[in-house]
Amino acid sequence: MASIGPKCLAVIICESVVEDLRTRNKSILNAYNVISAPRFPTTHDRMTVFVSLTEGRGPADTRFVLLRDSQSGQEQILEVRGKVRFPNPVAVVDLVVDLRNVPVPGPGPYAMQVWVGDELVGERRVIARQMPTREVKP
């Protein structure tokens, strides 16, 4: 019988998440799938990851892993560890991870993976691309 683990409802990469303290509702600001930079390597000032999980049981360890796809395979760029607690299996638990100064070594595809325990529960792709240079006329 397969193990019953949490289900990922959403993985969103954005600039920030604002939470209403009264209702606990979240507003996702400036969601994106592309990081544009004039040159590489670069540092992305701010990346916020919003994750919504359900069907979990009790406390669990979490990992957020940013990977870069390259010709030689996947290269891990960063990893953030934390904990989540599911009050009951039907509860929806939202996680917000604020990342600052994220290294982006080169253009191409990246993946933000979400792990709960030893299980990969979700992933969001983002593409890094070089902005076209503009010719400056004298």
Correct CATH for 7-130 of 1.20.140.10, 2.60.40.1930, 3.40.50.280, 3.20.190.10: 2.60.40.1930
Q: How far apart are the first and last CA of the chain?
A: 71
Contact 21, 83 (CB under 8 A): no
Q: What is the pLDDT of residues 26-35, one digit of tens each?
A: 999 999 999 9
What pLDDT, on the 0 to 100 scale, is given for residue 96?
Answer: 97
103, 107, 109, 115 alpha-carbon torsion, rounded to 10°: -10
SS3 72: coil
H/E stretch holding 12: strand 7-14
Contact 99, 78 (CB under 8 A): yes
Ordered by start, the domain boundaries in the chain are 7-130
Q: What pTM did the predictor assign?
A: 0.90
Q: What is the pLDDT of residues 62-102, one digit of tens each?
A: 999 999 998 788 999 999 999 999 999 999 999 999 999 99
